[in-house]
Structure 1
Amino acid sequence: MLLLTLRFYATGAFLNTVGDIAGVHKSTASKVIRKVSHAIASLRPQYINLPEGDEIREVNQGFYEIASFPRVIGAIDCTHITIQSPGGENAEIYRNRKVYFSLNVQAVSDHKLRIRNIVCRWPGSAHDSHIFNNSTLRHEFQQQVHGNNILLGDSGYRNRNYLLTPLRNPITRAENLYNEAHIRTRNCVERLYGIWKRRFPVLAHGMRLQLRSIQCVIVATAVLHNIACDEKEEVPPVDADVMI
Structure 2
Amino acid sequence: MDLFESSSSSSAEDIPMYLELIPDNRIFRDRTNPFDMYDNEEFCARYRLSKESVTNLMHACYNNIAPVTHRSKSISAMNQILCTLRFLATGTFQAVIGDTVGIHKSTVSRILKVVLREFARIAREKVCMPDEPVAIQNTKTAFMAMHGFPNVIGCVDGTHIKIQSPGGENSEIYRNRKGYFSYNVQMVCDPNLKICSIDARWPGSTHDSTIFNASMLRMQMEQEYENCILLGDSAYPCRNYLMTPVAHPRNVAENNYNNAQIHTRNCIERCFGVLKRRFPALALGMRIAKETALTAIVAASVLHNIAIEENNILPAPEVEIPEVLHEDAPLGDAADGNAARREIINTFFN
Contact 1:195 1:236 in 2 (8 A): no
Q: Which AA in structure 1 matches 2:276? A: K
How far apart are 1:209 and its partner, in Å? 1.1
Q: Could you tell me which residue of structure 2 aligns to residue 123 of structure 1?
A: 203
CA distance in 2, matches of 1:235, 1:36: 22
CA distance in 1, matches of 2:311, 2:82: 21
CA distance in 1, matches of 2:169, 2:152: 42
Structure 2: 5+ residue stretches without partners: 1-79, 325-350
Q: Which AA in structure 2 matches 1:194? A: G
Answer with 1 or 2: which has the greater Rg: 2
Q: Could you tell me which residue of structure 2 aligns to residue 112 of structure 1?
A: 192
Q: Quick one: structure 1 residues 23 and 240, their matched pair in 2 at CA, closer, same or farther if it must change by over 3 Å?
A: closer
Q: Which AA in structure 2 matches 1:72? A: V
Please, what is the CA RMSD of the aligned residues?
1.2
CA distance in 2, matches of 1:209, 1:219: 15
- The CA deviation string for residues 195-239 of structure 1, in whole angstroms up to 9 with x for no partner, is 000000110110011121111111111011001111112234477
Write the mapping of 1:212-231 to structure 2, written as runs, cut at 5 A: 212-231=291-310
CA distance in 1, matches of 2:283, 2:219: 30
SS at match of 2:300: helix
Q: Could you tell me which residue of structure 1 aligns to residue 220 of structure 2?
A: 140
Tell me the TM-score normalized by structure 1.
0.97
Tell me the TM-score normalized by structure 2.
0.68
How far apart are 1:242 and its partner, in Å? 3.4
* Structure 1 residue runs of 4 or more that deviate by more than 6 Å after TM superposition: none
Q: Which AA in structure 2 matches 1:166? A: P
Structure 1: 5+ residue stretches without partners: none
Q: Could you tell me which residue of structure 1 aligns to residue 112 of structure 2?
A: 33
CA distance in 1, matches of 2:239, 2:315: 35
- The CA deviation string for residues 79-131 of structure 1, in whole angstroms up to 9 with x for no partner, is 00000000000000000000000000000010000000001010000001111
CA distance in 2, matches of 1:236, 1:131: 32
SS at match of 2:258: helix
Identity of aligned residues (%): 50
The size of the alignment, in residue pairs, is 243
Q: Which AA in structure 1 matches 2:135? A: E
Write the mapping of 1:188-207 to structure 2, written as runs, cut at 5 A: 188-207=267-286
SS at match of 1:208: coil
Q: Which AA in structure 2 matches 1:227? A: I
Q: Which AA in structure 1 matches 2:218? A: R
> Are 1:96 and 2:170 counterparts?
no
Q: 2:256 aligns with which of 168, 177, 202?
A: 177
SS at match of 1:78: strand
Contact 2:276 2:321 in 1 (8 A): no
Write the mapping of 1:49-88 to structure 2, written as runs, cut at 5 A: 49-53=128-132, 54-88=134-168
Q: Which has the higher strand share?
A: 1
The worse-fitting range, judged by mean Cα deviation, of 163-172 and 133-142 is 133-142
How far apart are 1:240 and its partner, in Å? 4.9
